Amino acid sequence: MTNAWTIEDSEDLYGVKKWGAGYFSIGENGNIQVAPNHRMPEITIDMAEVIEEMKAEGIQFPAVIRFHDILRSQVEILNETFLETIETAGYEGKYVGVYPIKVNQMREVVEEILDAGEPYNYGLEAGSKPELMAVMAYNDNPNALTILNGYKDEDYLTMALLGRHLQRKMIVVVEKFSELEMLVRLAKKFKVDPMIGLRSKMMVRSTGKWSSSSGDRAKFGLSIAEIVNAIEYLKENDMLHCAKLLHFHIGSQLSDIRKIKEAVTEGARLYAKLVQMGVPLEYLDIGGGLGIDYDGSSTTTDSSRNYSTEEYVADVVYGVKQICDLEGVNHPNIVSESGRAITAHHSLVVTNVVGEVSLTGTKFDISAEEGEHVLLSNMRELVTAQEMHPQERYNDAAAYKQSAYEAFKLGILSIIDMAKIDTMYWQILSDIHNALDDETRQIQELDDLEDSLASQYLANFSIFQSAADTWAIGQLLPIIPLHRLNEKPEVRCSIADITCDSDGKIGKYIESNQISENIPMHKLRKGEEYTIGMFLTGAYQDVMGDMHNLFGRLTEVHIFSHDDEPGDFYIEEIVPGHSAEKVLETMQYNTDYMAKVVKKSIDREIRKGNLAPREGVRWTDFYERCLAGTTYLR
């Protein structure tokens, strides 16, 4: 039976190619394969080999794996798509994109993106003061832009003016009128011309989780009246020549291409009208929002997008061109701030399943005893009543179970009786579910049995640390086994983490093009590790984690592809995760003190003769070793 399962069946089930964007696929050997370089698809890396090498290096699960080649590929694809489209369209402006570092601020990520983007003068975007401090140090390409968004104080604006002194193309995007007044005052004080951008509050309403980023009630941006006032204000202060850019951002993960078209039309029209008023704008910044097809459905659901990158770029380039041609205005240089689209694919979390919580798997002797209560014998009859209509059998089982609980509360049934009732009940349900056919599956209540019977696989990680959005906003992230994909997955289960929080579980899975509450995985084998991967965690998830249950950051493994290496890859760097000590210290604990207190208690027991001295020393060492060690399960 198991032999009949093929990797194509796994592909149909898990949809790897659909969300994998050419980077991930299932190999003939049933392992996940990674082709991280879009220019060299023949270089493929077997995830099982990566994990083997990690083991050899002594790395424990969970760990983040970063494929730097995927980051580079995404930067190249976006820039080249713009270059090619601009060429074909006869568009007269340039594309000068920036990467918004809030999406993943890891230094190694930012460095890799800048390096891959250098030939295209790809720049950076900052949205806060600390981010500005980082981009100031890292983006020193005089031809690349630095875009400054977010609310600003004097220090933030002064830092931007320092950037101008250093000949950087640093553009301050004004989100609020008062920022403009502050900027004008500081520019006069420090005697340097700022480059000014104006962020427009857009009328188009995007859909999805971030729809409040646009419209009248948006938190950021200037209304049309405020923009006109800003122009007047700059004129009065003899600084109109500093107005260089018009900015908009209607939200992240835009799922519907029509909203993008509408926004481009609105933004380009506003740009053209401002230029006609004599504002010397050179750049139109279309913000972020380029989506990721997390669920692989190519639809307008929140976790997908109904367009390709080519389509997005074409709609932007041709859209701006058409309006500017109609209005008789020069084509602006186009800026975009794609973050999610650049980083989502490059990292994943790998971990292992450390246990199973199953309602049907409990072994308990249910054999009859003389003089047992009639509820038990009734329930036992149902266990073998395969000929009964499933609905009737289910109703009876549920009724007996309810009565049994009542009887237990009244002291009529014993605890052993209840254990038998419970065991039989789940056996019956599981039996009913296994025997459902096309007709009986139509009965909703019986079809729903699938969810109540599903096991929980306990995975060694914290959702709050590694996939905050799956919990906070119901984001879907593909989560699948990394091996055995040539075997039939026979256990329906959901994935729960090791935090002490009932919310610590994944509630959405991709199953055969649909969203399910649980998913088939393989039977766990004794003595064999079952490794799973949570994919597309490179945007936001990587850097959003919290300290829930004090788990802290994961160990990271940075991988480069190389065709001279065995397995076509090498581990370039290992960044150790947070130790227990480190996360405790962020919560103001003094771990030296803690170790001392524990040692004292151990010493006291030694003095009392309750512990052998040698044993006591071992316990002291053990406590200290755990402080220095991993927060996750070993």
Ligand X SMILES: *Cc1c(COP(=O)(O)O)cnc(C)c1O
Min CB(540)–ligand X separation in Å: 7
Nearest-approach distance from CB 130 to ligand X, in angstroms: 15
**Near ligand X by CB under 6 A: residue from 152, 331, 340, 492:** 340
Judge whether 351 and 532 are in contact, CB under 8 Å: yes
Residues 239-268 that bind ligand X (CB under 6 A): 249, 252-253
C-beta of residue 248 within 8 angstroms of C-beta of residue 173: no
Q: Which of 76, 337, 417, 542 binds ligand X (CB under 6 A)?
A: 337
Question: What Cα–Cα distance (Å) separates residue 209 from each residue in 16, 65, 122, 250, 608?
Answer: 24, 27, 28, 11, 62
Q: 3-class SS at 581?
A: helix
Scanning 116-124, 337-345, 459-467, 592-600 for contacts with ligand X by CB under 6 A, the matching segment is: 337-345
- Tokens 């093929």 sit on residue: 6
Least distance from ligand X to the Cβ atom of residue 254, Å: 7
- Which CB, 27 or 150, lies closer to ligand X? 150
| Distance, first Cα to last Cα, the chain | 35
Nearer to ligand X, 65 or 342 (CB): 342
Residue 335 or 354: the one with the smaller Cβ distance to ligand X is 335
CB 341 to ligand X: min, Å: 6
> Alpha-carbon distance 484 to 464, whole Å?
28
Is residue 404 classed as helix, strand or coil in its secondary structure? helix
Give the interface segment with ligand X, choosing from 152-160, 187-195, 335-343, 491-499 (CB under 6 A). Answer: 335-343
**Residue selected from 124, 279, 290, 510 as contacting ligand X according to rule CB under 6 A:** 290
Question: Which residue in the set 339, 390, 489, 520 belongs to the binding site for ligand X (CB under 6 A)?
Answer: 339
Alpha helices in 328-373 (DSSP H): 340-343
Please, which residues have CB within 8 angstroms of residue 115's CB and are 6 or more apart in sequence? 72
Sole binder of ligand X in the list 20, 208, 221, 289 (CB under 6 A):
289
Comparison of 227 and 482: residue with beta carbon closer to ligand X: 227
What is the rounded CA–CA span in Å between residue 287 and residue 150? Answer: 13
Two structure tokens written together for 428: 């019956």
Residue among 20 and 208 whose Cβ is closer to ligand X: 208
Q: Which residue stretch of 35-43, 309-317, 333-341, 418-426 sits at the interface with ligand X (rule: CB under 6 A)?
A: 333-341
SS3 sequence, 442-498?
HCHHHHCHHHHHCEEEEECCCHHHHCHHHHHCCCCCCEEECCCCCCCCCEEEEEECC
Dihedral angle over CA of 182, 184, 189, 195, nearest 10: 110
440-448: long-range pairs with CB below 8 Å, 24+ = 440/390, 440/391, 443/390, 443/391, 445/391, 445/394, 446/390, 446/391, 446/394
The strand pair at 491-496 and 519-521 is best described as antiparallel
**Bridge partners, 347 (sequence order):** 66
Q: Is 303 a binder of ligand X (CB under 6 A)?
A: no
Print the binding letters for residues 365-394 with ligand X: x by CB under 6 A, - otherwise. Answer: ------------------------------
What φ, ψ does residue 566 adopt, rounded to 5°? -60, 135
Closer to ligand X by CB, 123 or 520: give it.
123
CB 539 within 8 A of CB 104: yes
* Binds ligand X by CB under 6 A, chosen from 36, 62, 208, 288: 288
475 contacts ligand X (rule: CB under 6 A): no
State the minimum distance, in angstroms, from the CB of residue 215 to ligand X.
Answer: 15
Q: Among candidates 103, 165, 198, 98, which has minimal Cα distance to 138?
A: 98
- Report the nearest approach of ligand X to the CB of residue 417 (Å): 57
By CB under 6 A, residue 131 contacts ligand X = no
Tokens of 125: 């975007």
Nearer to ligand X by Cβ, of 287 and 616: the residue is: 287
Q: Which is nearer to ligand X, 148 or 428 (CB)?
A: 148
Q: Give how many residues touch ligand X by CB under 6 A.
A: 17
CB of 85 to ligand X, least distance (A): 18
Q: Residue 98 or residue 485: which is nearer to ligand X going by CB? A: 98
Determine the interface stretch with ligand X among 111-119, 133-141, 282-290, 430-438 (rule: CB under 6 A): 282-290
Closer Cβ to ligand X, 219 or 625, answer by number: 219
In the three-class reduction of DSSP (H, G, I as helix; E, B as strand; rest coil), residue 597 is classed as helix
- What are the start-end ranges of the H helices in 15-144? 16-20, 47-56, 68-89, 107-117, 129-138
- Is 183 in contact with 172 (CB distance < 8 Å)? yes
What is the torsional sign of CA 417, 423, 424, 425?
A: positive
- Nearest distance from C-beta of residue 539 to ligand X, angstroms: 6
CA proximity to 145, closest of 332, 270, 312: 332
Q: Which residue is nearest to ligand X (CB)?
A: 288
Which parts of 69-128 interact with ligand X (CB under 6 A)? 100, 102-103, 127
Using rule CB under 6 A, residue 468 touches ligand X: no
- CA 492 – CA 594 distance, rounded (Å): 43
Nearer to ligand X, 289 or 504 (CB): 289
Work out the angle between the directed axes of helices 309-327 and 68-89 (0-180°, nearest 10): 30
Binding string to ligand X for residues 142 to 161, with x set by CB under 6 A, is what? -------x------------
Residue with smaller CB distance to ligand X, 101 or 534: 101
Quick check: 36 binds ligand X (CB under 6 A)? no
Query: C-beta of 307: minimal distance to ligand X in Å?
Result: 14
**Encoding tokens for residue 168?**
């950087």
- When binding is defined by CB under 6 A, the residue of 81, 214, 338, 351 that contacts ligand X is 338
Nearer to ligand X by C-beta: 338 or 351?
A: 338
CB closer to ligand X, 47 vs 78: 78
What is the contact surface with ligand X in residues (CB under 6 A)? Answer: 100, 102-103, 127, 149, 249, 252-253, 287-290, 337-341
